[in-house]
Amino acid sequence: MLNLKPSVQDSARDRGMTRRDFLKFCSLMTGVLALPRSYSTRIEKALAAPARTPVIWLEFQDCAGCTESLLRASRPSVAEIVLDVLSVDYHETIMAASGYQAEDAKKATIDAGGYLLVVEGAIPMAENGIYCTIGGRTAIDLLEEAASNAIAVVAVGNCATFGGLPAAKPNPTGAVQVNELVTDKPVLNLSGCPYNVVNLTATVVHFLTFGELPAMDDLGRPLFAYGARIHDNCERRGHFDAGEFVQAWGDEAHRKGWCLYKMGCKGPVAFHNCPAVRWNDGTSWPVKSGHGCIGCSEPGFWDLGVYNQADLQQFAPPTTYAPVQLPSANVDPAAAGIIGAVAGAAVGAAGVAAYNALSKSDEPEEDSAPEKKE
Ligand code: SF4
Ligand code: F3S
């Protein structure tokens, strides 16, 4: 059972968030989750229900970059709402309480159950875990205790999802990812270095709307955020297809915005929604800024070598192509399913792009009535 608390919508309203911004937030989440636009109404209804998700947030072997990502949610609607969607009961870095008072808050949340456990950082296993101890207890011990009564565990950042920098060769502390230790609960991986807070918020919104975690890929990552290859949605893809590559930093091709593959871009082998969701208020993402993707959403990316060329295994068409119109007869259901998924991702990308444009607009917009039909 979830702890009953004021609804997300109520909390947002109490803090002065306008209905317009709240509806924009629901539209953004619909787009990020790659859902049809009509689902915005369903999300709005779910966030109006009297339930929020308590969260315990633990940090182990990390740089706190993922906590920074949480606190730097700078889009007005996300920044205002993220701490309403996530009722963070315990987070060592940002909570006001400390010492025994903080530990009591954590114990009360664990005893009550029904919380999400968010874990940032890898867990060192060598020497019985002595390389990460907090309050005299190892990360292994703290993780097992906090996971014991959680509904599910969300690992954020490459360290928690795939071992990250602590597990890079030669991995002197024996660092491992969360799902090597937690095997009796659903563990959802939001990889990235850092992860994108928009994807954490969308995961919890999905949980509140549909009562379950989103569908995942074989690495435990939600398909809405990691279902498409970066290369397939990259604005420089046309240059890749045309064989137009940057050959040296600052050359004419670089100044023209050509493809960064030969400069080590890992976009062809990395899966993440960076081209659609972007970073820093939706302003930019690594490739748009002129540097290749370093594959921070993938296992073992620190050992790949930032400027080594990616090993190309396969190609796929961009998901932003218009959906193919199949003939009505003799349709292969498997093919139709793939095309549906591609179209869904395109809808999601379009929804996020529309939100990006809207959030940058100074034009006043009238509150629109929620759509009735789903
Ligand atoms: Fe974009 Fe990198 Fe692919 Fe080039 S290799 S199209 S820069 S993702
Ligand atoms: Fe990481 Fe590549 Fe995105 S480096 S932030 S997955 S563009």
Q: What is the pLDDT of residues 143-180, one digit of tens each?
A: 999 999 999 999 999 999 999 999 999 999 999 999 99
Q: Which residues contact 268 (CB under 8 A, 6 or more apart)?
A: 229, 230, 231, 261, 310, 312, 315
C-beta atoms surrounding 64 within 10 Å: 17
What is the tens place of the pLDDT at every residue in 91-102?
888 887 888 888
User: What is the spatial distance between Cα 40 and Cα 60, in angstroms, rounded to a whole number?
Assistant: 36
Which pLDDT band holds residue 15 (cuts at 50, 70, 90)? confident
* pLDDT at residue 297 in the model: 98
Pocket of ligand 1 contains residue 259 by CB under 6 Å: yes
pLDDT at 326 over 90: no
Ligand 2 centroid from CA 297, angstroms: 6
More confident residue, 357 or 97: 97
**Distance (Å) from CA 267 to ligand 1 centroid:** 5
**Is any ligand 1 atom within 6 A of the Cβ of residue 318?**
no
Residue 133 or 350, more confident: 133
3-state helix, strand, coil in the chain (%, to 5): 45, 10, 45
Alpha carbon separation from 173 to 126, 164, 187 (Å, rounded): 5, 12, 23
**Residue 206 to residue 208: CA distance in whole angstroms:** 5
- For residue 228, the one-letter residue type is A
Quick one: which atom of ligand 1 is closest to the CA of 270? Answer: 8
Nearest-5° angle of CA 87, CA 197, CA 103?
Answer: 40
Distance 43 CA to ligand 2 centre (A): 28
Ligand 1 centroid to Cα of residue 247, in Å, is 13
- Atom 7 of ligand 2 has which residue's CA nearest to it? 293
| pLDDT greater at residue 23 or residue 331 | 23
The amino acid at 211? G
DSSP 3-state assignment of 297?
A: coil
- What tokens appear for 68 in the block? 């920074």
Please give the residue that has the higher pLDDT: either 357 or 62: 62
Question: Are the beta carbons of 200 and 32 closer than 8 angstroms?
Answer: no
Q: What percent of the chain has pLDDT over 70?
A: 78
Which atom of ligand 2 has the smallest separation from the CA of 266? 2
Residues 173 and 61 sit within 8 Å (Cβ to Cβ): yes
| Reported confidence tier of residue 322, pLDDT bands at 50, 70, 90 | low
Closest CA to 273 of 361, 220, 198, 217: 198
pLDDT for 327: 46
Token duo for residue 89? 């009961």
Q: How far apart are CA 63 and CA 78, in angstroms?
A: 23
Residue-level pLDDT at 18: 84
Distance CA 204, CA 99 (A): 29
Q: Span 344-363, mean pLDDT?
A: 48
Q: Note the helical H segments in the chain.
A: 8-14, 19-32, 39-48, 65-71, 76-85, 99-112, 139-147, 157-162, 178-181, 197-210, 223-226, 237-241, 252-256, 274-277, 333-359
User: Per-residue pLDDT averaged across 132-150, rounded?
Assistant: 96
Residues 274-319 have pLDDT tens digits of: 999 998 778 899 999 999 999 999 999 999 889 999 988 665 555 5
Quote the DSSP letter at residue 87: E
Mean pLDDT of the 64-73 span: 82
Cα 278 to ligand 2 centre (Å): 9
Average pLDDT of span 252-280: 95
Q: Is the CB of 234 under 6 A from ligand 1?
A: yes
25: confidence class by pLDDT, cuts 50, 70, 90: confident
Q: Please state the rounded mean pLDDT for residues 225-244.
A: 94
The Å distance, Cα 149 to ligand 2 centre, comes to: 33
Which of 235, 241, 287 is the best mutation target for the ligand 1 pocket, counting ligand atoms within 8 Å of the beta carbon and taking the most? 287
pLDDT computed for residue 325 by the predictor = 56
Residues within a 6 A CB radius of ligand 2: 192, 230, 270, 272, 274, 285-286, 293-297
Tens digit of pLDDT for each residue in 188-199? 999 999 999 889
Residue 373: pLDDT over 70: no
Residue 236 Cβ < 6 Å to ligand 1: yes
The terminus-to-terminus CA distance of the chain in angstroms comes to 28
Average model confidence (pLDDT) across the chain: 83
Q: What's the 293 CA to ligand 2 centre distance in angstroms? A: 5
Tally the residues of the chain. 374
pLDDT of 259 > 90? The answer is yes
pLDDT at 229 over 70: yes
Q: Is residue 33 in contact with ligand 1, taking CB distance under 6 Å?
A: no
